Amino acid sequence: MDTFSTMIIDAVDKIKNAVVKIDVYKTVNGKMRPAGSGSGFIFSSDGFIFTNSHVVDGAEKIMVSLLNENEIEATLVGKDPDTDVAILKIYAHGYSVAKLGDTSQLQIGQFVIAIGNPYGYQHTVTTGVVSALGRTLQTQSGRMVDNVIQSDAALNPGNSGGPMINTDGEVIGVNTAVIQGAQGLSFSVDINTAKEIAVQIIRDGKVFKAYLGLQLQDVPINEKVRQHHKLSNRAGIFITRIEPDTPASRSQLMEGDIIVSFNNKPVSNSNELFKVLTHKDILTITNISVVRHTELLNFIIVPTEKKN
């Protein structure tokens, strides 16, 4: 067998027993009936599972099927529609745990593998490469999901909530959505962001996030500009859109600016910015630095609490 195929098989083998099928049920005309399905993966030895918020939205009963075909009822610990992440918990044995990776070193062009249950076909595997990082995605419900990884690995209905993994079998994203009508584009919530969300949901049952009103994408900083301004970070966060009537729209920020510092600390990617925005003490006048063309500009912005 060729080396490339062996690499994929080995990576899938490391995680396949942690990937689950999720079936949700709702009451219709007085009877509990199937109301959709999706995917998920177990990420802790005590039975916590990542999936998508939209997969379990409104569910009255959630059943989780393991690869060995054991079906177990799950408890919804909490969900965050703004990142499309939900945490479930099962009380069972006989499963393995997915290893969570670190996306801080993830590169555009890096090979990725998606695993899920599209159309009910369990453990379907597709492959592709990372196309873009740190994207802001607008979901079909109109919500903006930050820090999304774009790839060309094929995703279909039922893949939602399954893992995107690297060739070491480590999870680098939670598969979340495809854009209607788009060809060959798929999206996953960055696992570093998902980890932050999981900590808050498991600890508090909900998520706190400050809001700026920006659509973003991670980009490299021009080396001459970086050296001229003695910037420590080689990458920044490109503002692709400023939402109306938001803290960003009331600041001096402009679309096309590249954020390089927030709250007096360098930020190189959307996940670093997201971490800062999960602390309640950020709800005050905050410094933000951007590169605009070749200039380094310093402004202030006042984040507000994002309401679900």
Question: Which of 281, 271, 226, 302 is closest to 103 using CA atoms?
Answer: 271
How many residues are recorded in the chain? 308
Q: Would you call 214 helix, strand, or coil by DSSP?
A: strand
Q: What is the DSSP string of 21-32?
A: EEEEEEEETTEE
Q: How many CA atoms lie within 13 A of 74 on its CB side?
A: 32
- Tokens 């690499």 belong to which residue? 7
The answer to whether the CB of 143 falls within 8 A of the CB of 163 is no
Angle at 204 between CA 200 and CA 207, to 5 degrees: 50
| Residues noted as catalytic | 54, 84, 160
The answer to whether the CB of 186 falls within 8 A of the CB of 178 is yes
